[in-house]
Structure 1
Amino acid sequence: MARVLVGVKRVIDYAVKIRVKPDHSGVVTDGVKHSMNPFCEIAVEEAVKLKEKKFVKEVVAVSCGPQQVQETIRTALAMGADRGIHVEVSGKDYETLGPLQVSKIMAALAKKEEAKMVILGKQAIDDDCNQTGQMTAALLDWPQVCGGLLSNPPGARLTVPFSGLPENAVRATCALCSLRLNTPRYATLPNIMKAKKKKIANVKPADLGVDLTSRVEVLRVDEPPQRQAGVKVETVEDLVAKLKEAGRV
């Protein structure tokens, strides 16, 4: 049976109000609650389901970042992943870590671990790039599917909802999981305790032959402009008059 890699990213919790740093170099992360990216939770759930159906023998959770990402890996282990890999990235390298660098890491690990499938969340809620999965598949020269229902073993034909394609039309070994694909399970207390005993290996990008040099430069980060309040009108004539005043018609 196959081994599956699942990417899990540590992001600012979805319920936290994002604040921009005074120097506009990024967003405030110190002292802010972090959690697993919701799309990654869906990816872990899909991988664990494959294991429960005995289509795969092992689910390996992978996360890139500083020491704190081990908490995210432990969450994946409590959900049912078998072991974790922490790719140590910190300091300036972590600040500039982007989809291309993560894709290179995932591709290198897929080869090293002899994985038959990589499952990733469609995107992360912090940068909303939606690029890592596509880049990983390209680097591995693997077929991919976006939002496929992974009810079959790695490499089998997958159902692709909302794609316009007939069912069972795509054969994939790199899958991107979108929202509403499943409902991630809650980690139970016994499984949380078991997760503490599961192994997390530490590797460095250099061990995988990956260069973390970024090709993207962030010039400035700003909050979106606040929307002005709308205006209510009583009739269509009033609406047309307002649009004329605003120069819209």
Structure 2
Amino acid sequence: MKIVVCVKHVPDATADRTFTEDGTTDRDSVDSLLSELDEYAVEQALRIGESGPDDAEITYLTVGPDDAKDALRKALAMGGDSALHIDDEDIRGSDAFGTSLVLAKAIERHGFDLVVCGMASTDGGMGVLPAMLAERLGVPAVTHLDEVTVAEGSVSGRREGETASVRVHSALPAVVSVTDRCGDARYPSFKGIMAAKKKPLESLDLSGLGIEPEQVGRSAARSAVDRAVKRPPRTQGEIVADEGAGGSGLAVFLTAKKFI
């Protein structure tokens, strides 16, 4: 059973993230790491591999510049067998459509029974990539799962909605995405970190996937950042003294802010 886990190397969410002049994410001014939400996907893939068929093979896949390998090494330190890195300067500035094309071609080339994704990336936060991948691969999308089980050639799980908990089921092959409620990710052990250095990590460019440069990149993107401004600094709150008319003062404040 081939399991492919899509992961992303993202700017640290706790850092002061900005955009470059061309509207792309500035990845040079802050430290980057494996997306926290993708760690849940890694954990679920490892659990499936540990409880599923003996021939389960877990491969991590990412798209990005050379330092994106750090995300793959972190995932490999947690467990798994191999990694695939897609690195090509012509990919820079791709939107979700372009990225999904690159990932889908890489997954098709590698072969798969199950693709596991996080619910979203912590830098883009769109959450649409799993559905796009499923469409390009021509397989079912079983998304936003809080619980995942693979057995007898099928995948099932629980999706929590606003008013109900839903059980979903699909035959394999399929694409699934998991939420941050599916179970805490394990920490890499020292043994795992050392072992990760010896696990195979293959790098490919667009030509290796049969993709023309005109199909991806900023020029082919259907969406782009038009402008970005820094969030204004927090101001000191207003204190309403309650000297018998506190309720009225609070009502006036909330009305002025259009909260009521």
TM-score bracket, shorter-length normalisation: 0.7 to 0.9
How much does 1:19 deviate?
A: 4.0
How much does 1:227 deviate?
A: 4.5
- Structure 2 unpaired stretches of 5+: none
8 Å contact from structure 1 (residues 50, 153) kept in 2: no
Aligned counterpart, 1:18: 17
Equivalent position amino acid for 1:236 in 2: G
Q: Distance in 2 between matches of 1:135 and 1:76?
A: 23
Q: Distance in 2 between matches of 1:26 and 1:174?
A: 28
Per-residue Cα deviation, 1:106-143 (whole angstroms, up to 9, x for no partner): 22222222201111111111111111111001111211
1:138 to 135, 138, 151: 135
Q: What is the aligned-residue identity percentage?
A: 23
Q: Distance in 2 between matches of 1:202 and 1:3?
A: 19
How much does 1:170 deviate?
A: 2.3
Counterpart secondary structure, 1:161: strand
TM-score normalized by structure 1?
0.87
8 Å contact from structure 2 (residues 23, 224) kept in 1: no
How much does 1:178 deviate?
A: 1.2
Are 2:80 and 1:75 equivalent residues in the alignment? no
2:109 to 107, 112, 115: 112
Per-residue Cα deviation, 1:71-101 (whole angstroms, up to 9, x for no partner): 11111111112000010133x632x122112
How much does 1:151 deviate?
A: 2.3
8 Å contact from structure 1 (residues 8, 61) kept in 2: yes
Q: Distance in 2 between matches of 1:98 and 1:160?
A: 29
Counterpart secondary structure, 1:60: strand
TM-score normalized by structure 2?
0.84
1:86-125 equivalence runs, <5 A: 86-90=85-89, 93-94=91-92, 96-125=93-122
Q: Which moved more, 1:188-197 or 1:110-119?
A: 110-119
Counterpart secondary structure, 1:118: strand
Report the count of equivalent residues.
Answer: 244
1:225 to 227, 232, 248: 232
Equivalent position amino acid for 1:81 in 2: G
8 Å contact from structure 1 (residues 24, 222) kept in 2: no
8 Å contact from structure 1 (residues 7, 61) kept in 2: yes
1:241 to 235, 248, 252: 252
8 Å contact from structure 1 (residues 26, 221) kept in 2: no
Q: Superposition RMSD on alpha carbons, in Å? A: 2.4
How much does 1:31 deviate?
A: 4.3
Per-residue Cα deviation, 1:32-63 (whole angstroms, up to 9, x for no partner): 21100011111111111111113361001001
Q: Which moved more, 1:9-18 or 1:44-53?
A: 9-18
- Identify if the C-alpha distance between structure 1 residues 190 and 197 changes in structure 2 by more than 3 Å, giving closer, same or farther: same
Are 2:31 and 1:33 equivalent residues in the alignment? yes
More strand by share: 2
- Identify if the C-alpha distance between structure 1 residues 157 and 71 changes in structure 2 by more than 3 Å, giving closer, same or farther: closer
Q: Distance in 2 between matches of 1:47 and 1:248?
A: 44
Equivalent position amino acid for 1:190 in 2: K
Equivalent position amino acid for 1:205 in 2: L
Q: Distance in 2 between matches of 1:154 and 1:61?
A: 23
Q: Distance in 2 between matches of 1:247 and 1:151?
A: 46
